[in-house]
A and B are shown apart, each in its own frame.
Chain A
Amino acid sequence: MKPARRIVALSAAVLLATAGCAGAESGSSGPIVVGSVNALSGAATFPEASQAAKAVFDAANASGGVNGRQIQYKALDDKGDPAAAAAAAREVVGRDEAVALVGSSSLIECEINNKYYEQQKILSIQGIGVDPACFTSPNIAPANVGPYHDMTLTLLYGSETLKLNDICALLEIAGNTLPSYQAAIDEWSAITGKKLKYLDATVPYGGSDYTSYIVKARNAGCKAITVNPVEPDSIGQLKAAAAQGWNDVTWLLLTSVYSENYAKAITNAGAGVYVPAEFYPFTDSTSPQNKDWRELMTKNNIPLTSFSQGGYLAAKYFLEVAKGISGDVTRESVTKALREMKPITDPMVGTPYVFGPGQTHHDNTAGWPIKLASGTNKWELVANDWLRIPKK
């Protein structure tokens, strides 16, 4: 991989060098450029967030745009590669002079680019924030809850609603996420006064056989397991438990496994897979909460996933704020408007969205509990309201 990295780095450098000499003129009459940096190719891809944002902007353009100006949306690929993520941000912020970043969804983008956004005085309404920097930077405020609060929520649901003791955590740690997950678990402990039975942070990503971890958890007497998995890994873990005949274990997972595909792949879910969905569950097809989103996604052939919910919401928040700007829509005016915005309430999320002047943005603290039971292959709602992390 080394030479490939070098080539990417080199081309990024070339791009940077040329980016300076190609400033696009964005006057007050041309289109408003909005950008995003996304995992469109690479090991894990989620293209739906930026597709959903684009659908929202296209619909807005069709009905006259923002203050008479069209929105030009540029969704760039970070290829799951730090150098490419840096280059993409510089292309859209530096060369295309975007006024804001909206609907980005990536595994690494916040970590790589947050300092650059601060330098350039540009704000990002992340569609789906994953890495810790998405929630700890002054210039990034994701539309989603994020895996860390989601972890706290799933533990709260397991210990308080399902009354489960002996919860164990198997964490798949990529990069520097361990302290953030640890903080999420500590928050749960602070609220409930309960402790995990044990925490194993050595579970590998993309492992082929998780039997040994499952055996270890079972021998330790775990009644429930919380994991922060990607879909294939979670399927592997559930299958390992099923092969061991461990059918009374409860899985407390995160929105990362909430998909139709996952439900189809799981026949034996032990005592059930529970997830606090970060947005109002999209599998509830008749819900008024998701009606507009569902129609827009279906019309544009965009998969109905949590990612497309995040991208859709990010774009809607941006439009609402941009339409309230009197005068020119520029990077300065958008940044000022987002910093001073009133909270926007949307039935798709449990917490009103506000960018605000904060140094960190980790304020979305509600999930909607859903369950996947054995043999159903379908997600179902198990609550009538949002589950919230109690205010300290």
Chain B
Amino acid sequence: MLQGALAGLAAGGLYAVLAVCLTLMSRLVRVVNFAQSATGMFGCYVAVFLSVDLGLPMWLATIAGILLGGLLSALLGWIVSTWLAEADTGTRSAVTVAVLLLLISLSFILFGNKPQPFHPILDGPALTVGGVVISQVTVVTVALAVLVAVASRIVLSRTPAGVQLRALSERPTTAELLGIPAKRLSIAVWAVTGVVSTLVISIVAPSQSNDATSLAMLVVPASAAALLGGFRRLDLAVAGGLGLGLIQGAAAQVDGLSVVRYFLPFAVIVALLLWSQRKEVWDAAR
């Protein structure tokens, strides 16, 4: 059980990083970005294309892919903040669903639906705990999740830009009247989360299934993790991601539970929603 749980940590770290990105997006720019992992996937695929077909060195291609992920995300942010500046969260998020589907289709068209020959950036085991090998990827993703969460926290609470961002998310109109450059800041948030999610997917993709659909759909467990923090709290998002990974890994070790394992993110989402909405009355909640 414990060994299985530790084996699930790599996935957990990945969920956690994506959950932090989702939480940031929801807090700062009022979007649940369904295309969060799809932009990462697309950036990685382009990186593979650059290194395999154009013969760029591995590191250069990876960096180019990560930048492209950030650019894609920034472009999407520009679209949303230009035409849907005043729209509600639901509408803004709906746009990202379209982008998710677009990116999956586009990667099928451009790169085919066969898995890509990724070359691992990190490969092999890092240390052994209780008979389970903890891979380098696991160490890096978990560290990255904590790092991104802590860094975001510091930026939001200690820097002028962070204060402006918070003002924007709390009272967008007031902030704009005060002369805070709303659009630029929003796009910056989009770009940063795009870069971070492409980075983490670049690290993880070579060591797991990496077809377009499974990478793009990582947003589901990430959403479940972000929901633990109500899409507001970064620390709970990290905990949720790591926890979900641990539970999934442990469930795979028990024959009776391994069927359930695949529906876990959905089960978690439903349970959290039921719990968080438990005091809502029909009329008031609608």
Residues of A within 8 A of B (CB): 43-45, 200, 202, 204, 206-216, 219, 231-233, 235-236, 239-240, 242-246, 259, 261-262, 264-265, 267-268
Contacts and interface: CB of A to CB of B under 8 A. Distances in A.
Interface in B132-161: 132-133, 135-138
8 closest cross-chain pairs (CB), A and B: A236-B209, A212-B252, A243-B135, A245-B125, A232-B211, A202-B258, A232-B115, A209-B11
Nearest to B212: A232
Interface in B50-89: 52
Nearest to A265: B117
Contacts of B133: 243-246
B7 A211 contact: yes
A265 B4 contact: no
Contact of B208 (A215, A216, A236, A244): A236
Contacts of B135: 211, 243-244
Nearest to B251: A212
Given A212-B248, A212-B253, A243-B135, 6 more contacts: A200-B258, A206-B214, A215-B7, A231-B114, A232-B214, A243-B136
Contacts of B138: 243
14 contacts: A202-B259, A204-B261, A206-B211, A212-B249, A212-B252, A212-B253, A216-B252, A219-B3, A239-B207, A243-B123, A244-B125, A245-B133, A246-B133, A264-B52
A44 B261 contact: no
A265 B132 contact: no
Nearest to B4: A212
Nearest to A42: B113
Interface centre among A44, A45, A200, A239 (most CB of B within 10 A): A239
Contacts of A246: 133
Nearest to B221: A208
Contact of B209 (A210, A215, A216, A242): A210
B42 interface: no
A243 B113 CA distance: 25
B49 interface: no
Contacts of A213: 252
B162 interface: no
A310 B254 CA distance: 39
Contacts of A219: 3, 131
B215 A215 contact: no
Contacts of B258: 200, 202
